[in-house]
Amino acid sequence: MQVTLKIRRYNPETDDQPYYQDYLVEVDPNERLLDALMEVKRFQDGSLAFRKSCAHGVCGSDAMRINGRDGLACKTLIKDVATEDKATVVLEPLRHFPVQRDLIVDQSEFFRKYREVKPFLIADAPPAAGEFRQSQEQRLRFDDATNCILCASCYSACPMFDEHPEFLGPAALVQAFRFLADSRDRGLDQRLPVLDQPGGVWRCQNHFQCTLACPRSILITKRINETKRMVQKRRDEQGEPTHPNE
C-alpha cells in the first residue's frame, strides 16, 4: 500500500514559519511508522530530522504526534494509523516543547523537572546486611512506574501545560511516586518543596490524557493521585489542610 506522510517541518535557521511537507511512501501495513520515516530519510529527503535509536520501544527517543495523538513511531504499525491505501498520516513534534528542527524538540525543561523530584532512593540509613531488600508485595506497589522510558508522550498529551507551563508534568510525578512508594525510601520531606507547590502535584486535574498516551501502560493518573494522598497526609500532620491550588 501507499501512504502519504504529512510532516510538520521547521528549521529555525532557515524557515520563518513551520510548514507541512508530503512524502508518498510504499509500505507494508505491518511495518512500523518508523520504517516509513526511515524510507523517507534514506531515499527521499536526507534533510528530514527526527530522533530514533533502539527501534524497539525502549529508548523513548522517537515520541511524536501521530495523527494528533502522542506515541512512539517504532511502536506504531502503519495499519493502525492508515486504514486504507493512499491514506495520509500527519506527523508533528511533541507539544509543549521548543522545536529544534522538524520532529526534534528541546527536552531540557522536561529533564530539569525530572531531576527536581530527586528520582533516586533517599534512605535514612545504609542497609543492615549489605542488601536493601523488600518483599515482592512491596515491590509490586510501584512496579509499573519503573517502566518509564522518559519518552515525554505524557508531557505532550497533558492539557495543563497550555496554561501552566510551570507544571512538573506526568513523567516527573510518576518518578516521584516510584520512590515515595518504595518501602526503603524516606525522601518525602526532601521532595515536598517541589511536589507541594502550585506547579507540583496539585496542578493535575485528572484529564487522563497522559495515561492514554503512555506507550508503557503506566497508570500515570492513578499514581499521581496516590502521590497527592501522600502529600496531603503530610500536610494534615503539619496542620496545613488546604493545598496551594485551592
Q: Is 174 in the site for ligand SF4 (CB under 6 A)?
A: yes
Nearest distance in Å: CB 39, ligand FES:
15
Distance CA 82, CA 239 (A): 55
Q: Are 154 and 223 in contact, with CB atoms under 8 Å apart?
A: no
User: Site for ligand SF4 (CB under 6 A): which residue of 3, 99, 201, 213?
Assistant: 213
* CB of 31 or CB of 166, closer to ligand FES: 31
Terminal-residue alpha carbon distance, the chain? 53
Q: Are 150 and 114 in contact, with CB atoms under 8 Å apart?
A: yes
User: Site for ligand SF4 (CB under 6 A): which residue of 5, 151, 158, 160?
Assistant: 151
User: Site for ligand FES (CB under 6 A): which residue of 10, 33, 61, 182?
Assistant: 61
Residues 64-83 that bind ligand FES (CB under 6 A): 72, 74
* CB of 62 or CB of 116, closer to ligand FES: 62
- Lateral strand order in the sheet of 87-92: 19-26, 2-9, 87-92, 63-66, 69-72
Mark 111-150 with x for binding to ligand SF4 (rule: CB under 6 A) and - for no binding.
-------------------------------------xxx
Strand, helix or coil at 2? Answer: strand
User: Site for ligand FES (CB under 6 A): which residue of 25, 50, 60, 230?
Assistant: 60
* CB of 33 or CB of 152, closer to ligand SF4: 152
Q: Is 52 in the site for ligand FES (CB under 6 A)?
A: yes
Distance CA 151, CA 164 (A): 20
Task: For the chain, count helices (H), then strands (E).
Answer: 9, 7
β-pair type (63-66, 87-92): antiparallel
Nearest distance in Å: CB 147, ligand FES:
12
DSSP H or E stretch at residue 223: helix 220-237
Q: Is 18 in the site for ligand FES (CB under 6 A)?
A: no
Q: Is 94 in the site for ligand SF4 (CB under 6 A)?
A: no
* Phi, psi dihedrals of residue 64, rounded to the nearest 5°: -160, 175
Name the residue type at position 119. P
Bridge partner list, 89: 5
How many chain residues are in contact with ligand SF4, going by CB under 6 A?
Answer: 16
Q: Is 170 in the site for ligand SF4 (CB under 6 A)?
A: yes
Cα 6 versus chain centre, distance: 23
The binder of 224, among ligand FES, ligand SF4, none, by C-beta within 5 to 8 A per type, is: none
> Would you tell me which residues interact with ligand FES (CB under 6 A)?
52-55, 57-62, 72, 74
> Would you tell me which residues interact with ligand SF4 (CB under 6 A)?
148-154, 170-171, 174, 213-216, 218, 220
